Chain A
Amino acid sequence: MELTFFIAAAIAILATIMVVTQYNLIHALLYLVVSFLAISVVFFTLGAPFMAALEIIIYAGAIVVLIIFVIMMLNLTTEDIQHEKEWLQPRIWIGPAVLSFILLVELVYIFTIDTPANYRSTPVEAKAVGMSLFGPYVLGVQLSGMLLMAGIVGAYHLGRQKKKVIHRFLERTDA
């Protein structure tokens, strides 16, 4: 398990360096997903399996997909088929694929040894986290709810475009 931690840590650092040195956003996001997966394996070795799942679901799932959606909305210019074809060269995705494969081997190794004593530290299960979250930290949960509400309203208000009325019958005559 010690070796698992070090390999995952090395992959995380390598993938993060690759993120910040890319020029193409999509390539950077591929490596960003690999970085999040590697940090998730690190969480697993540290005895936090629930946080590993949350890391994949929220970071690698929700946030990266959100950024990809925005990139798709912004890419309105001359992204032609030739450009699309050169994005699918094997040298683009072979790096993230190799790093992800190493992480997969590590994960299979963790599941096959299958003895909780092999955690590097005492695992803290999701039940203890939940008891602590809704026990002494319940005020923080409510503050998080207010923060998410403010985030939703703020994102809606900031992201709204100025409305264009297309139909002539619907045009405002007084404006």
Chain B
Amino acid sequence: MTTLPMEYGLLLAGILFVIGLVSLLIRRNIIFMLISVEIMLNAAGLAFIVAGARWAQADGQVMFIFIVTMAAAEVSVGLALILQLYHNLKTLDSDAANLMYG
């Protein structure tokens, strides 16, 4: 039984992360930005799973559980912020939220 080379899994994780990062940079719809963050977190979790499978240890999967927990908390708070933004500004454009001119 030969193990799958670790580079393929890490390459997949890297490609998914870069897609999410590019999408986060080029999109202005704030829900798409939240989805991009989810894609990036998922890619990071995939990298942990690949590393855990490489050494046949459970630590990578434990880290993936923590990442999933963090993603769930993040998406709930993010969606609440999106609701407030839409309620106040009547748009989903993230550039509209520059009222503080920061």
Binding site for B on A (CB under 8 A): 2, 5-6, 9, 12-13, 16-17, 19-20, 25, 28-29, 32, 35-36, 39, 42-43, 45-48, 50-51, 54-55, 58-59, 62-63, 66-67, 70-71, 73-74, 117, 119-122, 124, 128-129, 131-133, 137, 140, 144, 147-148, 150-152, 154-156, 158-159, 161
Contacts of B56 in A (CB 8 A): 47, 121-122, 124
Contact in complex: B31, A25 (CB < 8 Å): yes
User: A74-B83, A159-B84 provided; 18 other pairs, C-beta below 8 A?
Assistant: A19-B39, A47-B53, A51-B64, A55-B42, A66-B76, A67-B75, A74-B82, A74-B92, A117-B1, A124-B56, A129-B58, A132-B58, A132-B62, A137-B62, A148-B69, A148-B72, A151-B72, A154-B76
Q: How many residues of B contact A (CB 8 A)?
A: 58
With A144-B69, A158-B77 in contact, do A48 and B31 touch (Cβ < 8 Å)? Answer: no
| A35:B39 contact, CB within 8 angstroms | yes
CA distance A158 to B86 in the complex (A): 12
Q: Which secondary structure dominates chain A's binding surface?
A: helix
Interface readout for B55-94 with A: 1 if CB under 8 Å, 0 if not? 0111111101110111111111101111110110000100
A52–B2 Cα distance when bound, in Å, is 22
29 CB-based A-B contacts, threshold 8 Å: A9-B8, A13-B12, A13-B16, A17-B19, A19-B23, A20-B20, A25-B29, A29-B35, A32-B39, A35-B42, A39-B46, A43-B46, A48-B49, A48-B61, A51-B49, A54-B65, A58-B71, A58-B72, A63-B75, A66-B75, A66-B79, A67-B35, A74-B83, A120-B2, A121-B53, A132-B59, A148-B72, A151-B74, A155-B80
Contact between A20 and B75 (Cβ–Cβ < 8 Å)? no
* Complex: chain A residue closest to B92, CB-CB: A74
In angstroms, Cα B22 to Cα A120, docked, is: 31
Residues of chain A with a CB closer than 8 A to B64's CB = 48, 51, 54
Give the distance to chain B from A47, nearest Cβ to Cβ, in Å. 5
Closest to A32 in B: B35
Chain B residues closer than 8 Å to A45, beta-carbon distance:
4
Contacts of A19 in B (CB 8 A): 23, 35, 39
> A158 touches which one: B49, B65, B73, B84 (CB < 8 A)?
B84
In the complex, what residues of A have CB within 8 A of residue B92's CB? Answer: 74
Residues of chain B contacted by A159 (CB below 8 angstroms): 79-80, 83-84
- In the complex formed, the residue of B with least CB distance to A8 is B12
> Among the listed B9, B49, B68, B81, which residue makes an inter-chain contact with A59, where contact means beta carbons less than 8 Å apart?
B68
